[in-house]
Structure 1
Amino acid sequence: MEWRNYYMDVMFLPLALVMIVAYHLWLWHKTQTRPFFTTFGRDAHGRRLWVIAMIKDIDKKNIVAVQSLRNLIMGSTLMATSCILVCAGLGAVISSTYSIKKPINDTVFGAHGELMVGLKYAILLAMFSFSFLCHTFSIGFLNQLNILICTPQHVKSIVTSEYLSEILEKSILLNMVGNRLFYSALSLLLWIFGPLLAFLSSMALVIIFYNLDFLTGDCNNDVDNFIPNDV
């Protein structure tokens, strides 16, 4: 195993992974300190209000609640199915052509030995598998919420709006983690063709994430002034 065959993989792939992980750590910090500066903070606040509104008049809004949760379940089911299909495709590729038969220029596309090819597929399979696991857990919480949100409300009932909101937040968090793992694994699929492509795609993915996760404009300061920072 020579350095000249692996130096691009050793440099670019850790940079791509660190870039994605560091961005999400920064996103988590911003969501905790300035929740309404991010879409996750505002959505979490809206979901708590939605749960309170649903259980307050559940006799009239039970169909709306069930249909809304069903849409979330369908989205998680679609992503979980996509993860399994990608894993099956990668497994078929591994079983049919484990190694690249035609040599590729190492200085451009990095290493392509059997060990490196196996490592690439192992990392991708692990990411897609964990994404599938997160989505299945999310579906479980949503099914649980689908039943509990329609239970009759009583003064001594332990199924409170806070409990229902906690279940919903767990399912949304698992769904978000599964989605981010799926998208990150899709960008790393280009690692099969070279580490530089994986690094560039991860950089583009972080830029896309930033534009989706953060809000712009002067309205953020106004919102923080009159809504408590309780996300």
Structure 2
Amino acid sequence: MEWRKWYLDAILVPLALVLMLCYHIYLFFVVRTHPFSTILGINSRGRRIWISAMIKENQKMNILAVQTLRNIVMGATLMATTCVLLCAGLAAVISSTYSIKKPLNDAVYGAHGDIAIAVKYLTILTIFIFSFFSHSLAIRLLNQVGILVNIPHLDSNPSGEFYLTSEYVSELFEKGILLNTVGNRLFYAGFSLMLWIFGPILVLLSVLVMVFVLYHLDFVSSSSNKEKQRIGDCRRASDLPSGGDA
């Protein structure tokens, strides 16, 4: 009898989480092996070039660098604040005895007893806590990048000893962006899990839609790859000497 109440939750929700995890493992693998077939890999390369340009043209570009980093930090701060507010609301619901803890008992598929409700809210709360943790670490690293990127002549060290280089700042910047991305993806997963309150079927449907949308946002389309290949071939052809000059 107890299994009849839990079997949908025990099958569909882990399946949805595994699907989300497998997609991001595949995305990580593609970014590592074929970075320019993904938006993340292309943007990573662009950020490294941007950091190098900001350091070389420090006197001209320092305001642009500070404003750009400030905008990124403001976005991460907004997400971290939202996670804290959601965690506070979920904690208040868990600790209360209000009837919202048992919504639509007769209409919800899956388990909806006291233990099930506690598991649902605690799972969602844990996801948002980790999202806040990722965003807060990202803010810390991005603030440090904002300081280091404005040091003039970062790579010039008369003694020849390593202390600060543009590569180090780029690595710091990439770690901050990675943590910000992880926080965002955990936030998306938390919103899908919030539908678990109304049943596990909605969780699976939400994750399927989310993976479909993220796939089209994370990967470069085949037409774009063909266009890049065509442009590269044209550039290589233009570099060759023409037959009439022989």
* Residue equivalent to 1:89: 89
1:185/1:58 CA distance change after superposition, 3 Å: same
Q: What is the one-letter code of the residue matched to 1:165?
A: S
Q: Distance in 2 between matches of 1:45 and 1:224?
A: 18
TM-score (normalised: structure 1): 0.91
Q: State the shift of 1:54 in Å.
A: 0.3
The residue aligned with 1:147 is 147
Q: Provide the TM-score with structure 2 as the length reference.
A: 0.86
Q: Which has the higher contact order (CA 8 A, sep 6+)?
A: 1
**Shift in alpha-carbon separation, 1:162–1:24, aligned structure 2, 3 A:** same
Would the aligned equivalents of 1:8 and 1:195 in 2 still touch at CA under 8 Å?
yes
Distance in 1, Cα, partners of 2:219 & 2:102: 41
How far off its partner does 1:128 sit? Answer: 0.2
Relative to structure 1, the CA distance from residue 155 to residue 91 in structure 2 (aligned partners, 3 Å threshold; closer, same or farther) is same
Check if 1:8 corresponds to 2:8.
yes
Unmatched runs of 5 consecutive residues or more in structure 1: 227-231
1:18-44 Cα distance to aligned partner (Å, 9 max, x none): 000000000001111110110000000
User: In the TM superposition, what is the alpha-carbon distance from 1:101 to its structure 2 partner?
Assistant: 7.2
Q: Quote the Cα distance in structure 2 between the aligned partners of 1:71 and 1:102.
A: 42
Q: Report sequence identity in percent.
A: 49
Q: Which runs of 5+ in 2 are unaligned?
A: 233-246
In angstroms, what is the RMSD of aligned CA positions?
Answer: 1.8
Alpha-carbon deviations, 1:94-144, whole Å to 9, x = none? 222374276325xx6100111111111111010000000000000000110
Q: Which runs of 4+ in 1 moved over 3 A?
A: 221-226
Is residue 36–residue 223 contact of structure 1 (8 Å, CA) maintained in 2?
no
Residue by residue over 1:49-70, the C-alpha shift from the partner in whole angstroms, topping out at 9 and shown as x without a partner, is 1011100010111000000000
For residues 148 and 6 of structure 2, what CA distance do their matches in structure 1 show?
54
Q: Counterparts of 2:43 and 2:229 in 1: how far apart (Å)?
A: 14
Give the whole-Å Cα distance in 1 for the aligned partners of 2:104 and 2:176: 45
Correspondence for 2:209? 204
**Alpha-carbon deviation of 1:217?**
2.9
Paired with 1:223 and 1:102, the residues of 2 have a C-alpha distance of 53
Which shifted more, 84-93 or 172-181? 84-93
Counterpart among 164, 182, 190 of residue 185 in structure 1: 190
